[in-house]
Amino acid sequence: MLPADPRFLGATVTNEGTNFALLTEAADAVELCLFNEVNGHLVETRFALAHRTGPIWHGYLAGVRPGQRYGYRVYGPWHPERGLRFNAAKLLIDPYAHQLDGQIFYLPEIYGHLSEDSQGLGDINLRDNRDSAGKVPYSVVTEDSPRKILRLNTPWAKTLIYEAHVQGLTAKNPDIDPDERGTYRALGHPSTITHLKKIGVSALELLPIQSSITEPAIWNRGRRNYWGYNPIAFSAPHAAYASTADPITELQWAVDQLHAAGIEVILDVVYNHTAEGGIGGPTLSFRGIDNKAWYRHQSDAEYIDLTGCGNTINAGQPHVVRHILDSLRWWSEVIGIDGFRFDLATALYGNQSATDSSLFAAIAADPVLRDLKLIAEPWDVTRYCLGDFAYPWREWNDHYRDSLRQFWLGDLARGFGEGVGDIASRIGGSSDIFYYRGPTSSINFITAHDGFTLNDLVSYQEKRNGPNCENNRDGGINDRSWNVGVEGPSNNPDITAIRSRLKKSLLATLMLSSGVPMLSMGDEVSRTQNGSNNAYSLPINMTDENSSTPEVFGGGWALNWNLAKEEQDMLDAVAELSSIRSTYLADVSSEFFTGALDRGTLRKDIAWFSLGGREMTDTHWQDGEKRSITVFIEAGSNRALLLLLNSSRNEMEFTLPSSIWGQTFRCIFDASRITATYEPVIAAPSAKVKVAQHSAQVWLVSRGYSLVRSPDA
Nearest to 635 by CA among 690, 685, 553, 580: 580
- The helix (H) or strand (E) run that includes residue 204 is strand 203-206
What is the C-alpha to C-alpha distance for residues 158 and 582, in angstroms, rounded to an integer? 7
| Residues facing residue 681 across a β-bridge | 667
Rg of the chain in Å (alpha carbons): 27
DSSP 329-377: HHIIIII---EEEETTGGGGGTTS-GGG-HHHHHHHH-TTTTTSEEEE-
Q: Annotated catalytic residue: which of 343, 456, 523, 670?
A: 343
What phi, psi does 335 have (nearest 5°)? -80, -40
Helices vs. strands in the chain: H and E counts, helices first: 15, 35
Residue 391: CB partners within 8 Å, gap ≥ 6?
Answer: 364, 437
Residue 342 to residues 131, 243, 461, 520, Cα–Cα distance (Å): 35, 27, 30, 17
What is the C-alpha to C-alpha distance for residues 540 and 543, in angstroms, rounded to an integer? 9
What phi, psi does 490 have (nearest 5°)? -145, 145
Tell me which DSSP letter residue 316 carries.
T
The number of residues making up the chain comes to 713
Nearest to 445 by CA among 377, 396, 378, 503: 396
Residue 80: CB partners within 8 Å, gap ≥ 6?
Answer: 113, 124, 125, 279, 301
What is the C-alpha to C-alpha distance for residues 146 and 461, in angstroms, rounded to an integer? 49
| Residues facing residue 194 across a β-bridge | none
Strands of 138-140's sheet in order across: 41-48, 29-38, 69-75, 138-140, 100-101
Contact 464, 472 (CB under 8 A): yes
Residue 268: CB partners within 8 Å, gap ≥ 6?
Answer: 163, 205, 206, 207, 208, 340, 341, 343
286-294 helix and 318-330 helix, angle to the nearest 10 degrees: 130
Residue 75: CB partners within 8 Å, gap ≥ 6?
Answer: 27, 28, 29, 30, 31, 86, 88
572 has catalytic annotation: no
356 has catalytic annotation: no
Residue 701: CB partners within 8 Å, gap ≥ 6?
Answer: 632, 639, 640, 641, 642, 657, 661, 662, 664, 665
565-584 helix and 493-511 helix, angle to the nearest 10 degrees: 20
Tell me which DSSP letter residue 208 carries.
P
Contact 510, 520 (CB under 8 A): no
Nearest to 671 by CA among 700, 693, 640: 693
What is the C-alpha to C-alpha distance for residues 150 and 65, in angstroms, rounded to an integer? 30
Q: Annotated catalytic residue: which of 94, 338, 377, 395?
A: 377
Tell me which DSSP letter residue 2 carries.
B
Nearest to 306 by CA among 318, 297, 293: 297
Residue 247 to residues 115, 236, 243, 342, 386, Cα–Cα distance (Å): 34, 9, 8, 23, 36
What is the C-alpha to C-alpha distance for residues 704 and 696, in angstroms, rounded to an integer? 26
What is the C-alpha to C-alpha distance for residues 284 and 112, in angstroms, rounded to an integer? 9
What is the C-alpha to C-alpha distance for residues 254 and 264, in angstroms, rounded to an integer? 11
> Which residues are identified as catalytic?
343, 377
